[in-house]
Amino acid sequence: MATLKIAVATADGERLTAHFGETPWYEVFTIEDGKIVARERRAKPYHDDHDHEPGAHAGEHRHGGGGRNFFEPIQDCQILIAGGMGERAYEWAKSLGLEVYLTKGKVEEVVQAYLDGTLQHDPRRVHRSHH
């Protein structure tokens, strides 16, 4: 069976973060033969507007954020699980080939739910632009 990598957006390594744009970390799980064989934490760029150089957003604000750069640390992943996500980030993730699940819960529980085939995507967790 092929190796699968699942990225989970989190602030503390325990629970999903409600807003993807404010998430500082990805917990990345490596799956082989339906079992978790490795777990690592990767930093997510642009999780806070104050942590990078002025002009880094080229005129965009927090909802646009780092755009596709958000996903650079998880280019080797096939699945992304998050608590909520802006519409543009959601579309970018899908355009990069990520299978995206928006849900709530604890990191390890949502990964296990995915492995069990019971993880449900909640489209109401896509934050529509209000501009």
pLDDT of 22:
87
Kindly tell me if the per-residue pLDDT of 6 is higher than 80: yes
Strands (E), the chain: 4-10, 25-32, 35-43, 79-82, 85-86, 99-102, 126-127
For the ranges 55-59, 73-77, 78-82, 120-124, the lowest mean pLDDT is seen at 55-59
Interval 97-103 mean pLDDT: 97
> Binning pLDDT at 50, 70 and 90, where does residue 70 land?
confident
pLDDT tens profile 23-64: 999 999 999 999 999 999 999 986 554 333 333 333 334 444
Tell me the residue type at 102.
Answer: L
